[in-house]
Amino acid sequence: MKVGFIGLGRMGQNMARRLLEAGHDVTGYNRTYEKAAALAPAGAEIVRSIADAAAAREVTITMLGADDDLAQVMEGPAGLVAAMPAGAIHLGMGTHSVAMSRRAATMHADAGQIYVAAPVLGRPDAAAAGQLGILTGGPPDAVETCRPLFAAMGRRCFDAGEAPEAAASMKLANNFVLGCAIEVMGEAFSLVRRYGVRPDTLYDMLTDGIFDCIGYKVYGDIIAKEDWDRVGMTASLGLKDANLALAAAEAAGVPLPSANVWRDRLIGAIARGDGERDWAVVAREQARASGLE
């Protein structure tokens, strides 16, 4: 397929590389040109504008970090909506708010185009291995058109239905559960450290039993080793997602009391200068609150 790819950061680079390896024709754009240029040896055509990335493409993928970034890419005479052909699909694979997902769908519909929300589950290493989980929300025919792309990038798709905001809510729910799990692990590690238990001993116990799963293994290991610079997602992006989850919950009238604890811990970590470290650094904040640092 002819694919445009906008947003070639840690995740986007690996996702675009998987598409190239699967034989798709990829045109790439990134705000920082040098990041995109790294894909040229793999066969990507690297361009210097959003319009050039999307023109004559069947599908244009965005992998962007925030709602404002997506809005800036989409809007204006040089933006994505203006550049995409009629009937083309915009595949939004970043983590965005429910409100932004609705807005994107409306903008494209007004222009005779299609928006499919397809946020992903997984860290950069999962993207490199083509093992992402992909949550889909959009018209069934458009989702089906994108199946070959999903097959190149992911291990499984989870269908949220026809509304893009439904897929957005699933991604926010996932990050809410994972963020709270990381927060709880930080509390547990602080508790046993106070009683002289080595962090690696607690890690082995947790991951050899009921918590034998990727989330606890990956983030428990980061916490046990205090390896805050093994970055999959930063604390700053974690705070963005916490705020999006709370906004979605408020709009739907759903209380999320645990999210406030998680959010406050992220704010503390960012205030201490740890915003660009992995979001598991909230465990360091818990250790500080417990007098362990």
Contact indicator for 149, 159 with CB cutoff of 8 Å = no
Place of tokens 């905001």: 165
Q: Could you give the residue ranges of the DSSP H alpha helices within the chain? A: 10-21, 33-37, 50-54, 67-74, 80-83, 98-110, 124-128, 140-145, 147-153, 164-193, 199-207, 214-225, 235-252, 257-271, 282-289
Catalytic residue selected from 2, 35, 171, 225: 171
Contact indicator for 143, 116 with CB cutoff of 8 Å = yes
Q: What are phi and psi of 117, to 5 degrees?
A: -85, 130
Q: Identify whether 217 is a catalytic site residue.
A: no
Cα 248 from Cα 159, distance rounded (Å): 19
Written as one letter, the residue type at 148 is P
Cα 222 from Cα 104, distance rounded (Å): 36
Cα 101 from Cα 90, distance rounded (Å): 11
User: Could you give the residue numbers annotated as active site?
Assistant: 171
